[in-house]
Amino acid sequence: MEDAANATPGSPDDAVVGPASGARCLHRVARERDAGPGWWRWAPVDEGVRLRAMAAADRRAGLRERALRGASQGDQASDAYVVDVVGDHWTDLPGDQPDDDDVAATLHALTDGATLVWGAALPADPVTGREGMRCALAAVPGGGYAPVLVVNHKVVDPRRGGSSSRALVTRLLDWHPAPDPTLRVRRHPGDLDRLVHAWHLLEAVGHAAAEPVGAVLGLGSSRSVVHDLRPVLESAGRAHDTRLAVVRGELDTVPSRIGECRTCPWWEGWAGRDGPVTGCRDRLVVADDVSLVVGGGQVGPLHAVGIRTVAELADAGPDRPADWNGEPFADAVLRARAHRDGEVVVPKVARPSIPRADIEVDVDLESHLDDGAYLWGTLLTLRDGRPLEEEGYRPFSTWARLPDPDEGRSFAEFWRWLTAIRDRAAGQGRTFRAYCYSKSAENGWMLSTASRFGPEGTRAVVKGVPSVTEVRRFLSSPQWVDVHEAVTGQFVSTSGLGLKVVAPVAGFTWRDPEAGGEASIGWYRDAQAARGVERDSGRARILAYNEDDVRATRAVREWISRMP
């Protein structure tokens, strides 16, 4: 989670802000300012945000021991001088701020010429208005240090053909960046903003490398991926100055719904220390604010033509505003009318439809963050009434702690079963289709698993895992149908078009009232840590949730097919 923007005691000129993406909601910054230091003690933390922060902390804790032994990603550096400041691990959650002792230990290590400072605590810089932060610091040849983030997301992808952006990688204990021809870099704006923030803090204490540079140690590479920060210094500086102006009271803000609202504690509000904290959502509902039904980038063009409320948009004519972008303007008007009329999902075409088949298989996977896919759930339906094999739910799972080659084994079993059903259907002259809800996750994990454990695998080759080419052939065929794609092309919704929104409209109810993707991540972590009956109960809960997801996908398909 990004560091909070808190005003320090004293005058507004002493205020500091932490690193954050330039796209971050400025009204959130203002609300954190007004709530004062320690607001996070009472604010709820989105479960997905918390789990991802803890997963990153776990990863840092695992790498810490290797760093302390004088090894960096498996490469020995016997003369390395490693200083461990944090003592355990840091979480990046609000409240995990550097204290004076950690700052003193960090500055001493830098002055002493440490090769690597783990869990370094960089002090705030009131002159530039930058809040202190934690990261790792690696010594750079020629003097100075580069900030290093340890994250739990992918920072590279396999490089194929003549694709550009070859990743520049280095060992932390022997900083010599070199291009890796097998990898292409993934640039995360949030990572770059944090690196720029840390580099400026290093500048303030006189220990920055001569050139603005930083690195990220994440998934997909055993070495740290190096980023030249010069191309983003100006944009990151503008974002920082804007946020600082908000904290100092020099720039007014108003609430408006954007994507960040999904995980923001200020959206719904909470029971604060001194009484209830009103959420931005309630304020927008009272104002009938148009951002409730359109994307953040569409609010400005609407305001420019005098449309500020949902009711005004619902009454709008067919002419779209200048600078309108994204979805068709008619869809936005239809959504506003649905909101006005209390409807959730409404069709935008005369006769919605979806491809069907004699033999249908619904597919849903469960993964743990970026560690791997541990469960492939399937639901077989025989629509033509002819025998094939028993209908119903079949899971293909591994409960090994990921990453582990057993992930390849479970996927191989799933793939063999799916292709056998498809081949038997073809042999009997029957049509076949497989379905998922939002193919980005299923496609990504199928290709990732095949690339890691298939015939050309980058890790241990597992028997039965298909080649990437075979997977791509299936994914590009008309036999693989994305139900979410069919829904988004034919419906609009006042609450999004995710499965948890559309399936209840289609009449489906999950058995578990807490069912959800973020919740399942917590269930998986708990099941991994448990033993005996608690472990078995946790796994059963995940399987039941996965089964409900594939049944919900089928329910949506059948609902579409029943429409007149």
Name the percent of the chain lying above pLDDT 90: 66
Same-domain status, 300 and 398: no
Same-domain status, 64 and 102: yes
Domain stops at, among 319, 343, 367: 343
Question: pLDDT at position 89, please?
Answer: 65
Between CA 29 and CA 253 the distance in angstroms is 9
Domain stops at, among 343, 371, 397: 343
Residue 22 included in any domain:
yes
Q: Residue 287: which CATH number? A: 1.10.150
Same-domain status, 301 and 167: no
Between CA 316 and CA 342 the distance in angstroms is 18
Residue 481 included in any domain:
yes
Same-domain status, 236 and 381: no
Same-domain status, 305 and 389: no
Residue 164 included in any domain:
yes
Same-domain status, 19 and 158: yes
pLDDT confidence tier of residue 103, bands split at 50, 70 and 90: very high
Same-domain status, 385 and 508: yes
Same-domain status, 206 and 284: no
Same-domain status, 72 and 194: yes
Please work out, in degrees rounded to the nearest 5, the angle formed at the alpha carbon of residue 309 by the alpha carbons of 306 and 313.
75
Asked if residue 13 lies in contact with residue 7, where contact means CB atoms within 8 angstroms, the answer is no
Residue 53 included in any domain:
yes
Between CA 5 and CA 37 the distance in angstroms is 9
Same-domain status, 339 and 308: yes
Between CA 451 and CA 56 the distance in angstroms is 24
CA–centroid distance for 357 within its chain: 34
Residue 318 included in any domain:
yes
Q: Is pLDDT of 56 > 90?
A: no
| Tokens describing residue 395 | 């899971």
pLDDT digits 0-9 by tens, 158-190: 777 655 678 999 998 899 999 998 888 988 899
pLDDT confidence tier of residue 86, bands split at 50, 70 and 90: confident
Same-domain status, 204 and 289: no
Residue 546 included in any domain:
yes
Q: Is pLDDT of 386 > 80?
A: yes
Give the structural domain span for 139.
12-247
Same-domain status, 388 and 333: no
Residue 16 included in any domain:
yes
Return mean pLDDT, the chain: 89
Domain stops at, among 296, 316, 343: 343
Which of the pair, 299 or 7, is modelled with greater confidence? 299
| Tokens describing residue 469 | 């080419």
| Total tally of structural domains belonging to the chain | 3
- Our CA dihedral for 525, 527, 528, 533, rounded to 10 degrees, sits at 160
Phi first, then psi: give them for residue 305, nearest 5 degrees: -105, 15
Residue 352 included in any domain:
no
Q: Residue 548: which CATH number? A: 3.30.420
